Amino acid sequence: MRPLALDLFCKAGGASMGLHRAGFDVLGVDIEPQPRYPFRFVRADALNPPFDLARFDFIWASPPCQAHTRAQRIRKNDHPDLIDATRALLAASDRPYAIENVTGAPLRRPIELCGAMFGLRTFRHRLFETSFPCIQPWHQAHELIARSAKMGRPPKENEFIQVVGNFSGVEIAKKAMGIDWMTQGELAQAIPPAYGEYIGRAALQFIERMVA
């Protein structure tokens, strides 16, 4: 039987697909409908999930990042910061967990993942706070890899793509992210499954050591 992971604030399932590839069965929770989510889904408030968290082997959470994005930091920001509440929920579960958010978010001793670490055609930096050991892969300087196309312009053959709300080329973005089931809006909010798979494999190693 595969271990069971819970993905809170799952959206369309970029992280969930990575956890599945790492070896978990996955259940996703989000307050909004997610018709393209690829696994079992429960529509609910992620901070008040309708089940006992102790039934899960691993918990992933991606609370909304708008409070910590660069654009919001330079203008009035009225988006809620749910990181502390999320951490408190996960810590109380006594389960291994990971919290994902954008660069600049107040995570504790996070590692940073980048698409170039996994052979993807997007940099897409994200931070990960984990309750278990997880080593950050080597991060090569971007200027030695490629440059990113400007937002709103299709990338040239040797350029990386910025998958944000104003990107060009949904099919290009799908290939860059390693995702084939999402719409443009869903892609803009997603993380590459490769990130979830990397963190998920580290979580599985930790779980196996705990039960050994």
- pLDDT tens digits, 152-200: 566 777 788 888 766 667 888 899 999 999 998 999 999 999 999 999 9
Cβ-in-10-Å burial (0-12, 13-18, 19+) of 91 comes to: exposed
- Its domain, for residue 178, covers 4-211
Q: Two tokens at 81?
A: 């910061």
Q: Two tokens at 59?
A: 């918990």
Q: H helices of the chain, where?
A: 14-22, 70-73, 83-93, 170-177, 184-189, 193-211
Position 67 scores a pLDDT of 57
Q: Which of 151, 94, 99 lies closest to 122 in space, CA to CA? A: 151
Q: Two tokens at 71?
A: 């654009």
Domain count within the chain: 1
- pLDDT tens digits, 75-121: 555 667 899 999 999 999 999 999 999 999 999 999 999 999 999 99
Q: Two tokens at 181?
A: 């089931």
The pTM score is 0.90
Split at pLDDT 50, 70, 90, the class of 141 is confident
Give the chain's end-to-end CA distance (angstroms, integer).
Answer: 16
Position 183 scores a pLDDT of 93
- Give me the sign of the Cα torsion angle 16, 25, 111, 179: negative
Q: What is the CA radius of gyration of the chain?
A: 17
Mean pLDDT of the chain: 90
Q: Which residues of 58-76 are buried (b: 16+ CB within 10 A; e: fewer)?
A: bbbbbbbbebbbeebeeee
- Strand-pair category, 126-130 with 97-101: antiparallel
Position 164 scores a pLDDT of 76
DSSP string, 112-171: EE-GGGGT-S----EEEEESS--PPPP---GGGT--BPPTTSPPPTT-B---STT-S-HH
Contact assessment for residue 15 and residue 30, using Cβ atoms and an 8 Å cutoff: no
CATH number at residue 207: 3.40.50.150
